[in-house]
Structure 1
Amino acid sequence: MLHQLPKRRFQLPPPPTVTPTIPKPPLNPPFNHKTLVEPIKDYKQICDLLLSQTRSRSLPKGLQLHAQIIKSGIQSIPLVSHHLINFYSKTQFPLHSLQVFDETPHKSSTTWSSVISSLAQNELPFIALELFRRMLGEGLRADDHIYPSVTKSIAILGRIDAGKCVHGLVIKTGFNSDVFVGSSMVDMFAKCGEIRDARKVFDKMPERNVVSWSGMISGYVLLGEDEEALRLFKRVLVEDLDVNDFTFSSIVRVCGNATLLELGRQIHGLCFKTSFDSSSFVGTSLVSLYSRCGVIEGAYRVFNEISVKNLGLWNAMLIACAQHAQTNKAFALFEDMICVGMKPNFITFLCLLYACSHSGLVKKGRYYFELMKEYGIEPGHQHYASLIDLLGRAGKLQDAVSIIENMPIKPTESIWGALLTGCRIHGNTELASFVADKISELGNVGSGLLVLLSNAYAAAGRWEEAARARKMLRDQGIRKEAGLSWVEDGNKVHTFASGDRSHMRTKEIYEKLEELGEEMERAGYIADTSFVLKRVDGEEKNQTIRYHSERLAIAFGLITFPPERPIRIMKNLRVCGDCHTAIKFMSKCSGRVIIVRDNNRFHWFEDGKCTCGDYW
């Protein structure tokens, strides 16, 4: 049992042998002893001054105070060390906090707590846990200040084994009933994917606060258990409990993942009433919500209304522009981001490469790929996969092969998958066979890649190889994901599968499709049955493609929604080429705006044209 763990048994792998170098903090303005006040002998006055500089994040003045402390010989006082450690933590120099700690001869429990917190808050979890182990080794007991920092470090590392040891210590030391420690345990278990353990701790807490509720809700969101997250959020509202921007951010993300636009709008209203709509964290989730639901103008509105934007918000708006084929706006947004002094990260460049990939902008994509290095970002496998995808979609398959052969990292499943997609689009069966051999060398690969293999072989008429790829799926116990499309009407979501006749308005839906099909044929539409990857005759192919899930969902929208309302359809798979052509004709013949989101991007159909320019 966890509570029976013997004392001082908390173990971690040995720390890195390389001693971290401590960077010299910048002095601006330059350090000047003459600006110092007369030597201060009252250490309480020094502590008050340090606290003031910590609140204002004034590094130069804090450094001068540190010099005065050394000069006065009062650094050995635990309270002074505590304030120095906290000062360097808040100014994001955690290794200086560690240096102050090491130079402190008399370390109180507050000193240990301060340095562990500093390291945890500044993303140095391993060193934080190593210090915690040292503290226990010296016979000191952890308290309600130290445990939350330790659990935060464990959550960053995902070390559930260490987490369970700490849980045992929490029970042994009697802190399991403390609301702050309990909340941190809930958050730790949830972030480590142990949602059942998180819920056990949560349910046993005699008192819960906003952190425990938020941690539990976000844990369900992270694991995709959206319904349970919504149930907990409803309890929060019914019981009139406190919520914070983290709670709202998590629940808005649920609405975005499930494309629940109407519910998302209601929660946006709650955010507005509680003034959390101005939070960058909530704003990021709201931008993603409106973008995922095909309401790009709503995403822009949220983005523009937030005065203080963090990097996550900029990245969310970038990917929204890219997914909605607003490529030039994405590039302009990146320039604005640089102008305001925001430093891009690896996700920023993934967004830009994605925008280039789905617009065929090879030269621009190469430019951004090289620009990453100027910001000190080394391209990872995701960036290489995006670059290969860009070249593959543009038909530059040999260039893509050359990059794979010369890149400094080993090709991953996603990289080969990107090249295989290019082979599929451009019908290069010879290269596809080469890629298939490389994929088979990887051993067990994901179901998505096996489906790609099957489709590539089927498109080339190589039915035996396609059957072999499908058999590999069956042998792994995986079924090919069924194509589904859904449309939201009020608070209800209507879902359709290919050839589906289970809907209560099936008769009207199929009648509408027949009526629209005749208009489309008169307008020049001819079905392209090459997208039916089955061994069936011509007439059966025509029937198969005519009743794809997205067409049924659109027909439902046509008979249900008023003429001025756009029809928004969500699809879990890539829309096929014939359906893409058909929907262009549907929009022209019906005079309606039709927005389709597949698993790659958004397609905005209006008057027979699509925003993707037939390039997706």
Structure 2
Amino acid sequence: MGMPQLELLAQRNTRGIENNSRNHPFQANFETLNMQRGLDSQLELSRPLLLQMMILMATAPPPKFSLPLIDKKSRGKHSFQSKYVFFSNKPYPKFDPLTPNLHFSYDTVLTPASPAQAKEKKITDWNTKIYEVCEMGNIHKAIELLYMSPKTEIESRTYCSILQLSAELKSLQDGKKVHSFICSSGISIDSILGSKLVFMYVTCGDLREGRLIFDKIRNEKVFLWNLLMNGYAKIGDFKESVYLFREMLDFGVEVNSHTVSCILKCFAALGSVKEGKWVHGFLLKLGFGSYNAVINSLIAFYLKIRRVDVARKLFDELSDRDVISWNSMISGYVANGFSEKGVELFKKMLFLGVDVDLATMVSILQACANCGDVSLGRAVHGSGVKANLHWKTTFCNTLLDMYAKCGVLDGAIRVFDLMGVRTVVTWTSLIAAYAREGLSDEAIRSFHEMDREGVSPDIFTITTVLHACACNGSLENGKDVHNFIRENDMRSNIFVCNALMDMYAKCGSMEDANSVFLEMPVKDIISWNTMIGGYSKNSLPNEALSLFGDMVLEMKPDGTTLACILPACASLASLDRGKEQIT
């Protein structure tokens, strides 16, 4: 094939490619390349023809790449990074085909990102990865990524994300790791990061460490003050909560309804009547008088200090009562010895269609136990089963106690047998039920069975089983319990010691009772009365009178003391001594 024929063929193919490129630019590029390879295999193209072909290739629009959308969770799995700029759907800049640099049109595609941009993207990648892992709740992976990342590249919000997750999972160990990493990085703990650290420590139960950080970053965020106050209140350190409240006021922090509710609970627990009344006036001045949570706390406060009339007035004036309002009033009636009024209020609650909850059921069962109203107790039992509360340990324990106090022992045993989880309260209630019915042997047997099942007795269990031994006159079983008390270092508890002396005295072993009495670090009036009464009942009047003389030197006798000492005087036919004791 001669040169003219080749030039004619090239022109024809070029025109065909040019037309095709308008419709299928991506395909035209490959056809151009294939044609060029075919011609190269036959002859060496002339320079003008080569120039014409290159111009056509340069003017053809570049191919467009479309990337599939990937959701946030799977982005880490499918994404890829490059130091070059990605292709986009934006048109290329205008290109002059006569420019001496034919590759100019590709400069925007292949130009590497600047070092600052690359560093910024790298930092973003570490923070984004850790944040996404925290969103999925994988604390261990988040900690792992944190230790893999350069310390200088982690942002404050990333630390906050891991600390938040540690708090949610109550993982104190992981939270401490993050805190240690922050300290080793030399990062200044500002108000935001410090607040998150305090939140993590308090939520995870480490109040001491949380308080240390709080004292360093103390600010006007009422949330942090409330968090610490509630934390101390939960562990029973009400005085520290009150101290924080006073500091809060001095610091000028604006209190909210949560603050008022918390401090009222603290004053109620401490029996601080004057301070609680001051808070009552303070909250009205702040405009919190219409807040349900605040009024509920106020009702609980007045019930705690036995001002039932004031609590009921607040309850009646509350227009929008919730279940907590009703529960507070019912439980307050029961706790203050007005169980009948609690039952009446419960019936009114049902009549008005207010939904009851577990707390309502527990309070009304306690009322039934105190009133001996087993019929209502059985009705509550049935309602609890329908509401699927019979699997709740608290409900079952109260139900068992209700049947026991109402004298329905078989009902108490049935509840006990059906319980899946038995706590120390469960066993103590059963032991008390047996002791109340005079079945001391069954009570002692249950105590040993409890020990075999690995449930550790508490002070109430010990005093209950000692009472059972005392009623049964079972000295040997009582001594076994005494050995348990020694092994578990419970001898310093005054309630346990008083129960021990009573058991020994009723079993006729005053020598053992006196040994316990002499070892007691602190003695109350019950301790003295138990010993004096024990000596009188065991026909040891001289010892009773002698101990009474010692008692007078330490504390003032009461009516029970006189009831215990007079039989001793009678047995000695000592009228003069009896008159002395009465006067």
Contact persistence 1:97–1:118 (CA under 8 A) = no
1:121 Cα offset (Å):
1.6
The match for 1:277 among 384, 390, 394 is 390
The aligned counterpart of 2:278 is 165
Matched, 1:181 2:294: yes
Aligned-partner Cα distance in 2 for 1:187–1:75: 43
Map 1:487-526 onto structure 2 (within 5 A).
none
The aligned counterpart of 2:314 is 201
The match for 1:312 among 425, 430, 438 is 425
Matched, 1:398 2:483: no
Aligned-partner Cα distance in 1 for 2:408–2:312: 35
Aligned-partner Cα distance in 2 for 1:84–1:337: 42
The aligned counterpart of 2:20 is none
The aligned counterpart of 1:19 is none
Contact persistence 1:113–1:145 (CA under 8 A) = yes
| CA 416–64 in structure 1, closer or farther in 2 if over 3 Å, else same | same
Aligned-partner Cα distance in 2 for 1:53–1:264: 44
Secondary structure (helix, strand or coil) at the match of 2:255 reads coil
1:280 Cα offset (Å):
2.8
Contact persistence 1:417–1:452 (CA under 8 A) = yes
CA offset digits 1:374-418 (Å, max 9, x no partner): 5454532221211111111111123323432342223x2222332
Matched, 1:234 2:347: yes
Aligned-partner Cα distance in 1 for 2:512–2:398: 37
The aligned counterpart of 2:531 is 419
Contact persistence 1:389–1:421 (CA under 8 A) = no
The match for 2:170 among 57, 63, 66 is 57
> Which residue identity lines up with residue 178 of structure 1 in the other structure?
Y
The aligned counterpart of 2:328 is 215
The aligned counterpart of 2:261 is 148
Secondary structure (helix, strand or coil) at the match of 1:358 reads helix
Aligned-partner Cα distance in 1 for 2:455–2:176: 26
- The alignment-based identity, stated in percent, is 26
Matched, 1:350 2:463: yes
CA offset digits 1:43-66 (Å, max 9, x no partner): 555545444443443333333343
How many residues in Structure 1 have an aligned counterpart in Structure 2?
Answer: 441
> Which residue identity lines up with residue 413 of structure 1 in the other structure?
I
1:77 Cα offset (Å):
5.2
| CA 42–435 in structure 1, closer or farther in 2 if over 3 Å, else same | same
Aligned-partner Cα distance in 1 for 2:182–2:154: 9
> Which residue identity lines up with residue 526 of structure 2 in the other structure?
S
Map 1:451-490 onto structure 2 (within 5 A).
451-453=563-565
CA offset digits 1:218-273 (Å, max 9, x no partner): 11111111222112111111112133322222221121122222222122222222
The aligned counterpart of 1:259 is 372
Matched, 1:368 2:476: no
Map 1:522-561 onto structure 2 (within 5 A).
none
Map 1:39-50 onto structure 2 (within 5 A).
41=154, 43-44=156-157, 46-50=159-163
1:217 Cα offset (Å):
1.4
Secondary structure (helix, strand or coil) at the match of 1:286 reads helix
The aligned counterpart of 2:43 is none
> Which residue identity lines up with residue 380 of structure 1 in the other structure?
N
> Which residue identity lines up with residue 538 of structure 2 in the other structure?
H
Matched, 1:116 2:229: yes
1:178 Cα offset (Å):
0.5
> Which residue identity lines up with residue 114 of structure 1 in the other structure?
L
CA offset digits 1:267-307 (Å, max 9, x no partner): 22222222333333332322221111222232233234343
1:193 Cα offset (Å):
2.2
> Which residue identity lines up with residue 287 of structure 2 in the other structure?
G
Report which stretch shifted further, 190-199 or 249-258. Answer: 190-199
Contact persistence 1:291–1:299 (CA under 8 A) = yes
| CA 76–210 in structure 1, closer or farther in 2 if over 3 Å, else same | farther
Unaligned runs of at least 5 residues, structure 2: 1-139
Highest RCO, 1 vs 2 (Cα 8 Å, sep ≥ 6) = 1
The aligned counterpart of 2:92 is none
Unaligned runs of at least 5 residues, structure 1: 1-29, 473-616
| CA 462–287 in structure 1, closer or farther in 2 if over 3 Å, else same | farther
Matched, 1:387 2:481: no
| CA 251–383 in structure 1, closer or farther in 2 if over 3 Å, else same | same
1:211 Cα offset (Å):
1.9
Contact persistence 1:420–1:432 (CA under 8 A) = yes
Contact persistence 2:441–2:472 (CA under 8 A) = no
Contact persistence 2:167–2:204 (CA under 8 A) = yes
> Which residue identity lines up with residue 177 of structure 1 in the other structure?
S
> Which residue identity lines up with residue 395 of structure 1 in the other structure?
G
1:135 Cα offset (Å):
0.3
Aligned-partner Cα distance in 2 for 1:157–1:396: 41
Contact persistence 1:75–1:104 (CA under 8 A) = no
Aligned-partner Cα distance in 1 for 2:422–2:194: 34
1:334 Cα offset (Å):
4.7
Aligned-partner Cα distance in 2 for 1:64–1:340: 38
Aligned-partner Cα distance in 1 for 2:365–2:457: 25
The aligned counterpart of 2:134 is none
| CA 101–435 in structure 1, closer or farther in 2 if over 3 Å, else same | same
Secondary structure (helix, strand or coil) at the match of 2:472 reads coil
> Which residue identity lines up with residue 247 of structure 2 in the other structure?
R
TM-score (norm 2): 0.66
1:141 Cα offset (Å):
2.0
1:138 Cα offset (Å):
0.9
The aligned counterpart of 2:205 is 92
Secondary structure (helix, strand or coil) at the match of 2:531 reads helix
Contact persistence 1:128–1:150 (CA under 8 A) = yes
The aligned counterpart of 1:138 is 251
Aligned CA-pair RMSD: 3.6
Secondary structure (helix, strand or coil) at the match of 2:214 reads helix
Contact persistence 2:201–2:209 (CA under 8 A) = yes
CA offset digits 1:184-230 (Å, max 9, x no partner): 11112212222223223322323222222211111111111122211
> Which residue identity lines up with residue 312 of structure 1 in the other structure?
V
Aligned-partner Cα distance in 2 for 1:400–1:172: 58
Contact persistence 1:81–1:104 (CA under 8 A) = yes
Aligned-partner Cα distance in 2 for 1:439–1:54: 55
Aligned-partner Cα distance in 1 for 2:395–2:574: 50
The aligned counterpart of 2:413 is 300
Aligned-partner Cα distance in 2 for 1:468–1:273: 64
Secondary structure (helix, strand or coil) at the match of 1:175 reads coil
Structure that is richer in helix per residue: 2
| CA 232–349 in structure 1, closer or farther in 2 if over 3 Å, else same | same
> Which residue identity lines up with residue 368 of structure 1 in the other structure?
V
> Which residue identity lines up with residue 527 of structure 2 in the other structure?
I
| CA 255–83 in structure 1, closer or farther in 2 if over 3 Å, else same | farther
